[in-house]
Structure 1
């Protein structure tokens, strides 16, 4: 749904052609998002069928294909808001929130902060669990010291990743609380 969030969010500000939306997404995400034309037009079609967007204008110029611009509907505005909340509520990583973060001005930031705090609590629990496993000195039955060293490497990397994710959530929470 993140591509649909981007599309709805961009159309919430003004009418656009799908190619313009693609260019805005790529420009505003430093080309981190991989968008194919097929995927883009498919998502426009899905949103059109759901009634979340509608054709605003079809322009035909000499020797060029038709160019259709779209606008968001009232149900699209509601869907955008709902999807932003849902993405924060179900977030697995901060990366999964990129599309929603771009449009947080459209929703209640205190509600988003609540979801971020919940995600941080879960991260703290995972960090505690990994740290306790790393602290264990005993070699589990059936493992060699070599296998244990591999496992410790993986656990250490996991712990580093979790701490990085927690730091990103903390920064996001600061943004949500400061506005």
Structure 2
């Protein structure tokens, strides 16, 4: 996901300081489904400012603290947000799992060792389902419905992966991969 989209999206809700943006992302548990480096947020803010998509709304000066710069989205930024939003939603991403490559040749491998690896992956998948369900149960009721759908999608995907691994594991134990 584009860090620029994240910054612009957060600013659609009102002016914010980059640290506040990070805090909101943490509270909303965006780290569960968005991957980015914290330093990239500040870099994106600078880029968006240079491109005219956001602007400084105010600088708060406090004694014994560094200045706090608040940003707001511009009209050009609102248009850019709409473009980035639709681009992100339109992306067709191919799912690649390294396990797929290995499975092609699994019939030549040691089935006991393969079973051990798949059992570990299955345990991880079971844990992932539990963690996602717990996270979903803990989100505040006022959380946007769209975010709730993200969790629901991640949970259903994790459950499907778990089921698939259970079937694969059973076939490996029954020596049916050949």
Question: TM-score, normalised on structure 2?
Answer: 0.52
Runs of 4+ in 1 over 2 A off after TM superposition: 29-38
Which of 146, 157, 165 is the aligned partner of 2:108? 146
Name 2:43's counterpart in structure 1. 42
Query: Can you give the 5+ residue segments of structure 2 that lack an aligned partner in the other structure?
Result: 116-120, 126-151, 157-178
> How large is the RMSD of aligned CA atoms in angstroms?
4.2
Between the two proteins, the alignment pairs up a number of residues equal to 121
Task: Indicate whether 1:58 and 2:59 are aligned.
Answer: yes
**Counterpart in the other structure of 2:93:** 92
Post-superposition CA distance 1:65-104 (Å, at most 9, x none): 111000000111111110111011114179xxxxxxxxxx
1:1-179 superposed matches below 5 A: 2-29=2-29, 31-32=31-32, 33=34, 36-92=37-93, 145-146=107-108, 168=153
Structure 1 unaligned residues grouped into runs of 5+:
95-129, 135-139, 162-166, 172-179
CA gap of 1:145–1:28, structure 2 versus 1, over 3 A, is closer
* Distance in 2, Cα, partners of 1:49 & 1:144: 52
- Label 1:11 to 1:66 Cα distance change in 2 as closer, same or farther (>3 A): same
Is contact 1:6–1:25 with CA below 8 Å preserved after alignment? Answer: no
* Alpha-carbon distance between aligned partners in 1 of 2:153 and 2:7, rounded to the nearest angstrom: 25
Q: What CA distance in whole angstroms lies between the structure 2 residues aligned with 1:83 and 1:6?
A: 10
The structural deviation recorded for 1:37 is 4.3
CA distance in 1, matches of 2:53, 2:71: 10
More displaced 10-residue stretch of structure 1: 13-22 or 83-92: 83-92
TM-score (norm 1): 0.52
